Structure 1
């Protein structure tokens, strides 16, 4: 498990919020490499506490609610099916592969599963509000970035700059014990979530600017993953 600070650091020319100092247009963000992404995703548990005037807390919870998924476009599904087929016939690790007919069937089933899943995500967009902390609802990904697909380097660059993570948050739940009323008509809500490889500091910074009367406190649990 990697050791990380409890607040957003300044590293690689980035501010505490995680924004590149000269980010420019999202269409031209092309990092040489995603140094914060591990070969295998490291999911990290966090607790986000939001406190302040009751009205503003209610405004935040309303704005943050959404389906919790990202309706990416997948422009290269046919190519990805062929790549999966080749990997199944000739596994990269040198192990025995599947017979061509079986590999083609499995590769096609995997392609269809991705297609069906994204159809469900698109159907829920703008309708479902079951997720209490939907970053795409709070900080929407532009349509031209969604059209690139989730694996495109420019999509990763936009997500790093604006969210701080390149995947949607997971295992998001409102912690009932953390929902309490404070003095002076103030309230606090606590939301648990898991993020990929890193804490979404740019998103937290954007929320602090958007809701200046609220206090956002995020606690990473680097031992919980």
Structure 2
């Protein structure tokens, strides 16, 4: 798809009645992003865009622990309960503790890591209030859809071209070229916001419907 054709589709995704396109099983779409311009401006974009690549959700997992308990205590047929009720309660609590520990780890990494070259949460941060509500809350999903154009963090973000094994990466100071997967749709709102923030740069995105 050409850049012009891609621009024709900006913001034109069809969505359910709540206005948010978030499939139960995301349709991961592969994209190329090219940012070109003055080397100093490109370097500033590169520095601003790098982050952990995760959204540091801080919602309580207490309700999830209760759901896990009921699933363990009364599993769907044809499965049968293999633990006592007390054992189900203990295991659900252990799962809750593990989930909370993972949340803390993600929050710590999100603040310090720059491993992901295109982190939407670094560029367009999810408000703290929504981070506490969690990813499944309707307000969180609505904000992500309106602000990013996708309801999940980008995945598999890599700088292109990928160098051969054992070869050093050769960076063009006037270019950032990235490949990544986005859930369900091209993140047009995020791209439009970045174009507005860096008007001196050319920021072009192209979905590759057949994958990399």
Q: Does 1:141 align with 2:140?
A: no
User: Structure 1 35/134 Cα, relative in aligned 2: closer, same or farther at 3 Å?
Assistant: closer
Q: After superposition, where does 1:102-121 map in structure 2 within 5 Å?
A: 102-121=87-106
Residues 70 and 136 of structure 1 are in contact (CA less than 8 Å); yes or no, is this contact kept in structure 2?
yes
- Indicate which of 198, 204, 209 corresponds to 2:196: 209
Preserved CA contact (<8 Å) 2:56 2:106: yes
* Residue of structure 2 aligned with 1:81, choices 50, 56, 65: 65
Larger RCO: Structure 1 or Structure 2 (Cα < 8 Å, ≥ 6 residues apart)?
2
Q: How far 1:105 moved relative to its partner? A: 4.2
Deviation at 1:127, TM superposition (A): 1.6
167-176 or 129-138, larger mean C-alpha shift: 167-176
Show the 5 A alignment for 1:12-27. Answer: 16-17=10-11
Structure 1 segments unaligned to the other structure (5+ residues) = 1-5, 11-15, 20-30
Give the SS at the match of 2:206: strand
| Bigger proportion of residues as helix | 2
The Cα shift of 1:180 comes to 5.5
Q: In the TM superposition, what whole-angstrom CA distance separates every residue of 1:40-62 from its partner, at most 9, and x where no partner exists? A: 12222211111111111101000
Counterpart CA distance in 1 for 2:41 and 2:158 is: 20
Q: TM-score, normalised by structure 1?
A: 0.77
SS of equivalent residue, structure 1 residue 126: helix
Structure 1: distance between partners of 2:75 and 2:22: 24
Q: Return the alpha-carbon distance in structure 1 between the equivalents of residues 20 and 12 of structure 2.
A: 13
Residues paired across the two proteins, number: 199
Pair 97,219 (structure 1): closer, same or farther in 2 beyond 3 Å: farther
Q: Which residue of 1 aligns with 2:44?
A: 59
Once the two structures are overlaid, the 10-residue window that deviates more, 199-208 or 66-75, is 66-75
Change (3 A) 1:108 1:41: farther
Report if the CA contact (8 A) 2:20-2:141 is conserved. no
**Runs of 4+ in structure 1 displaced over 6 angstroms?**
none
- The alignment's TM-score, normalised by the length of structure 2, stands at 0.82
